[in-house]
Structure 1
């Protein structure tokens, strides 16, 4: 097993339950936060999940830390249920674990990522989606 395969397996074991597309969709309807960390070129090519907040991977921890000065409005506390999605469900596992380590105890990721969401027939639209506003220090 390669180093990244070991890291991914470890991250997923720490996350425990990862959500499938219909579960993630239901959670978002109940107030959970879907966060799309895909590159802009993938969002432009394939579309976006309408209710997902777009946060570039390199800003994720800063934007979702409820105690941080650069947080998004949706990062209200450490109890927010966050589902991270990437393109195919690999990078999102590592990102969700990072959020867990920040104290977001309900952070997890989407099994199969955006591609699984789309294959499940769930809503996808063209356009930029709900892009997180630029980081502005307090």
Structure 2
């Protein structure tokens, strides 16, 4: 497992205190129940190109705050953000909530946990 810097982990912990996290199994249940939501992949372009969750849109952590209002103008849209392990998605979730998005979840474990669960991946 990748070692993250202490300062980075501190801001992630702070962000996680203000957001709602979900698990891969909870997201799988949402899919099975045909709940309407949008997957948002906040990883870097190279990570996205190597594989991503089916039907996800790509708004990397570096641009999500700038571009989300153009791509998803309704702040009530249910969103599930994910990254590689759940850290960047927590930060992005916190930021877009501050922008007025009200129904946002960060998927704990991210793409790594999804892949580990043997769930489908798109390329």
Give the TM-score taking structure 1 as reference length.
Answer: 0.75
Distance between the aligned counterparts of 1:18 and 1:103, measured in 2? Answer: 17
- Report the CA distance between 1:103 and its aligned residue: 0.7
Name the structure 2 match of 1:136. none
Any idea what SS the aligned residue of 1:18 has?
strand
Q: Given the alignment of the two structures, is residue 43 of structure 1 paired with residue 48 of structure 2, yes or no?
A: yes
Any idea what SS the aligned residue of 1:57 has?
coil
Q: Given the alignment of the two structures, is residue 98 of structure 1 paired with residue 74 of structure 2, yes or no?
A: no
Structure 1 segments of 4 or more deviating over 6 A? none
* Residue 121 (structure 2) aligned to one of 119, 124, 127: 124
Any idea what SS the aligned residue of 2:80 has?
strand
Any idea what SS the aligned residue of 1:92 has?
helix
Give the TM-score taking structure 2 as reference length.
Answer: 0.83
User: Residue deviations 1:77-121, cap 9 Å, x none?
Assistant: 221111111111111100110011011112121101101111112
Q: How many residues align?
A: 117
Any idea what SS the aligned residue of 1:35 has?
strand
- Report the CA distance between 1:43 and its aligned residue: 2.5
Return 5+ residue gaps in structure 1 as ranges: 66-70, 127-138
